Amino acid sequence: MITLFYNDIIKIVKAVTLPRFFHGLVEQLEKDFAHWSDFNIQPRLASHHPDGVIELMPTNTASRFAFKYVNGHPINAEKNNKLSIIGFGALADAATGLPLVLTEMTILTALRTAATSVVAAKHLANKNPKSMAIIGTGAQSEFQALAFHHCLQVNRIKYFDKDPNAMLKFQHNLSSSDLQLQAGSSIEDTINDCDIITTATAAKKKSQLLSACQIQPGTLLNSIGGDCPGKTELNPDILDISCIVVDFLEQAKIEGEIQNAKPNTEILELQDIITGKKTARKTAQDIILFDSVGCAVEDYSALEYIYKLANELNIGQKDCFLPEPSDPKDLFSLLK
């Protein structure tokens, strides 16, 4: 078994380079979405608290089992000076139950969330998008900007956050990139003349960052903000003018923007778009909403990909995390 700490994830990304890492993860995600029927998947198991949520996200195929532990506590950054979202997870051999990799998944989840957004944009946005607006420049924002830049050649990024320090952080972290960065003075100013709008806010409440009257024809709305029951980012009238695509329908019903959808609203799943079973964008003028809540298949993709790279690069600790007595029937001997 390989154990990967956060610094091991950083070593792997630097060894392969961030552009190549994103390209490889996008490829893994597309492969797994195309084989969606191979996965046994269920809505994540959630334990709610007034200040946040802790969730377990399991899935399995005939040969693999994977899970992630993840929390969402927006209060942490402001009151505790701690990350609002952290995660760890494991990938195991289904035939033996033995873990293959145990890894941190805080950075890894940020990378896979951005890569999933790219996968969605490849299949839902108009061809050759050049500009993206990011509303909310918290922990996920730089990952989104760079994933779209490296994988889809999106070079112009407009951004806005109600916290000026978060905007300064975003500008500083990306100042050495090739991106054309433009700070917005308001949400409406920021989204003007953008092919893609990404909303990435964390507040645990019903927000209405955008309304239907603000969305230009042809726009892809990429709604990725931290989700929980009762928490949404968009005015419900946007759902009335959009073709809605989700990553996992059963989870999105609980935590996504489609909590506000009217009865009998048609909602598509990304896996059906990728396999060609259904079509989302029929014209260049269509407005598409990708309601992304995150799902265990995406984590599975990230775990498979990081396990492959860790083996190839010989990164991570291979000392015994689990007991291995010389006689597998004599566990007590290890205490003697």
CATH number of the domain located at residue range(s) 2-107+296-323 in this protein: 3.30.1780.10
pTM above 0.85, yes or no: yes
132 closest CA partner among 155, 161, 110: 155
Q: What is the pLDDT of residue 319?
A: 77
Q: What is the pLDDT of residue 149?
A: 98
Rounded CA separation 22/7 (Å)? 18
The sign of the CA dihedral 253, 259, 263, 266 is negative
Q: What is the pLDDT of residue 225?
A: 77
Rounded CA separation 134/142 (Å)? 10
Rounded CA separation 263/124 (Å)? 24
Would you state the structure tokens that stand for residue 97, as one six-digit string? 């139950």
Rounded CA separation 234/26 (Å)? 27
List the catalytic residues. Answer: 227
Rounded CA separation 131/196 (Å)? 7
H-only helix segments in the chain? 6-16, 18-34, 75, 106-124, 141-152, 164-173, 187-191, 237-241, 249-255, 270-274, 296-313
Residues of each domain in the chain carrying CATH 3.30.1780.10: 2-107+296-323
* CATH T-level assignment (fold) for domain 121-291: Rossmann fold (3.40.50)
Q: 304: left (phi > 0), else alpha (psi -120 to 50), else beta?
A: alpha
Residues of each domain in the chain carrying CATH 3.40.50.720: 121-291
pLDDT in tens, 17-68: 999 999 999 999 999 999 999 999 999 999 989 888 899 999 999 999 999 9
Tell me which residues of the chain have a pLDDT lower than 50: none
